[in-house]
Structure 1
Amino acid sequence: MNNSDAVIRPHRTLWLSLAALLVCVLLGWLAYRLLLNSHLDSERHLAAQRLDAFALSIEATLARHESLPGLLALDPALAALLREPNDPRRQAAANAYLEAAQQGASVAVAFLIDARGKTLAASNWRLPRSFVGHNYAFRPYFRDALEGGFGRFYGVGVTTGEPGYFLAASVREQGRVLGVIVLKVGLESMEQALSGVGDTRLLADSDGVVFLASERMWRYRALAPLNEAVKARLAETQQYGSQPVQLLADRAIEIDGGELRRIALPGEMARERMIHARPVGSLGWQIVQFVDTGEARAVALGGGIAVAFAAAFLIGLAAHFRHRRQRREELRRVYAELEQRIAERTADLTEQVAALERTKAILRETRDAAVQAGKLATLGQMSAGISHELNQPLAALQTFADNASALLARGRTEEVAENLRMISDLVGRTGRIVRQLKTFARKEAATPQAVGVAAAIEHALLIVEPRRREIGARIAIVPPPTDLCCVAEAGRLEQILVNLLRNGLDAMAGLNEPTLDVSASIEGSQVCIAVHDHGPGLSDEARSHLFEAFYTTKPAGEGLGLGLAISLTIAESYGGTLSAHNAPDGGAIFVLRLPAAGENHAASNA
Structure 2
Amino acid sequence: MLLALAGCLLLAGISYRFLLDARLDAERLTNSHRLDFYTSSLESALAKHEPLPVILGLERTLGEFLGAPQDGRLREAANRYLETVQRQTGIAAAYLINPAGDTLASSNWATPQSFVGQNYAFRPYFSAALNGDTGRFYGVGVTTGEPGYFIAAPLRKAGATIGVVAVKVSLNAIESAMTQSGERLLLADRYGVVFLAARPEWRYRTLAPLAAPVAAELRSTRQYADHSLAPLSPSRVLEILGQAITVRLALPNEGIQEYVAQSRPAGRLGWQLLMLSDMQATRRAAAGEAAAIGFAAAFAAALAVYLRLQRRRRAERLAAEIELEARIAERTSELLLANTTLEQKVGELKQAEDILRETRNDAVQAGKLAVLGQMAAGITHELNQPLAALTTLSDNAVKLLARGESGEVNENLAQISELASRMGRIVGELKSFARKSPAAWQAVSVAAAIEQALFLVESVRHTRRLSIELELPPTDLKVRADPVRLEQVLVNLLRNGLDAMAEGVGDKRLIVSCHSSGKQVVIDISDFGPGIPAEILPHLFEPFYTTKPAGEGLGLGLAISRAIVEGCGGEISAHNTAEGGACFSVRLPAA
2:238 counterpart residue number: 253
User: Structure 2 matches for 1:396-545, cutoff 5 A?
Assistant: none
Please tell me whether residue 312 in structure 1 is matched to residue 294 in structure 2. Answer: no
User: Structure 2 matches for 1:65-464, cutoff 5 A?
Assistant: 65-251=49-235, 252-256=237-241, 257-323=243-309
**What number of residue pairs does the alignment pair up?**
312
Aligned-partner Cα distance in 1 for 2:7–2:284: 22
Aligned-partner Cα distance in 1 for 2:313–2:24: 45
Q: CA RMSD in A?
A: 1.7
Aligned residue identity for 1:119: T
Aligned-partner Cα distance in 2 for 1:244–1:259: 27
User: Is residue 208–residue 234 contact of structure 2 (8 Å, CA) maintained in 1?
Assistant: no
Aligned-partner Cα distance in 2 for 1:283–1:271: 29
Q: Tell me by how many angstroms 1:261 deviates.
A: 2.0
Aligned residue identity for 2:121: A
Deviations 1:353-400 (A, max 9, x none): xxxxxxxxxxxxxxxxxxxxxxxxxxxxxxxxxxxxxxxxxxxxxxxx
1:595 counterpart residue number: none
Q: 1:311 to 1:106 in 2, by over 3 A?
A: same
Q: 1:23 to 1:41 in 2, by over 3 A?
A: same
Q: Which has the larger radius of gyration?
A: 2
Aligned-partner Cα distance in 1 for 2:248–2:125: 38
User: Is residue 250–residue 265 contact of structure 1 (8 Å, CA) maintained in 2?
Assistant: no
User: Structure 2 matches for 1:561-576, cutoff 5 A?
Assistant: none
Aligned residue identity for 1:315: A
3-state SS of 1:128 partner: coil
> TM-score under structure 1 normalisation?
0.50
Aligned residue identity for 2:146: E
Aligned-partner Cα distance in 2 for 1:242–1:324: 77
3-state SS of 2:277 partner: strand
Q: Tell me by how many angstroms 1:323 deviates.
A: 4.6
Can you give the 5+ residue segments of structure 1 that lack an aligned partner in the other structure? 1-16, 329-606
User: Is residue 249–residue 266 contact of structure 1 (8 Å, CA) maintained in 2?
Assistant: no
Aligned-partner Cα distance in 2 for 1:307–1:111: 66
Aligned residue identity for 1:255: I
Deviations 1:307-364 (A, max 9, x none): 1111111112222344556999xxxxxxxxxxxxxxxxxxxxxxxxxxxxxxxxxxxx
Q: Which moved more, 1:315-324 or 1:70-79?
A: 315-324
User: Is residue 189–residue 270 contact of structure 2 (8 Å, CA) maintained in 1?
Assistant: yes
Aligned residue identity for 1:294: Q
1:564 counterpart residue number: none
Deviations 1:238-284 (A, max 9, x none): 00003332112343333142222232212322121111111011110
User: Is residue 122–residue 131 contact of structure 1 (8 Å, CA) maintained in 2?
Assistant: yes
1:331 counterpart residue number: none
Aligned residue identity for 1:291: S
Q: Tell me by how many angstroms 1:201 deviates.
A: 0.9
Aligned-partner Cα distance in 2 for 1:212–1:175: 38
Q: Tell me by how many angstroms 1:75 deviates.
A: 0.5
1:601 counterpart residue number: none
Aligned-partner Cα distance in 2 for 1:136–1:196: 35
Aligned-partner Cα distance in 2 for 1:54–1:327: 66
3-state SS of 2:43 partner: helix
> TM-score under structure 2 normalisation?
0.51
3-state SS of 1:148 partner: coil
Q: Tell me by how many angstroms 1:235 deviates.
A: 1.0
Aligned residue identity for 2:183: D
Aligned residue identity for 1:102: Q
3-state SS of 1:247 partner: coil
1:24 counterpart residue number: 8
Aligned-partner Cα distance in 1 for 2:114–2:2: 81
Q: Tell me by how many angstroms 1:48 deviates.
A: 0.8
Can you give the 5+ residue segments of structure 2 that lack an aligned partner in the other structure? 315-591
Aligned-partner Cα distance in 2 for 1:70–1:262: 44
Q: How many percent of aligned residue pairs carry the same amino acid? A: 48
Q: 1:243 to 1:317 in 2, by over 3 A?
A: closer
Aligned residue identity for 1:302: G
Aligned-partner Cα distance in 2 for 1:170–1:290: 39
Aligned residue identity for 2:294: A
User: Is residue 207–residue 230 contact of structure 1 (8 Å, CA) maintained in 2?
Assistant: yes
User: Structure 2 matches for 1:524-603, cutoff 5 A?
Assistant: none
2:437 counterpart residue number: none
Aligned-partner Cα distance in 2 for 1:198–1:217: 15
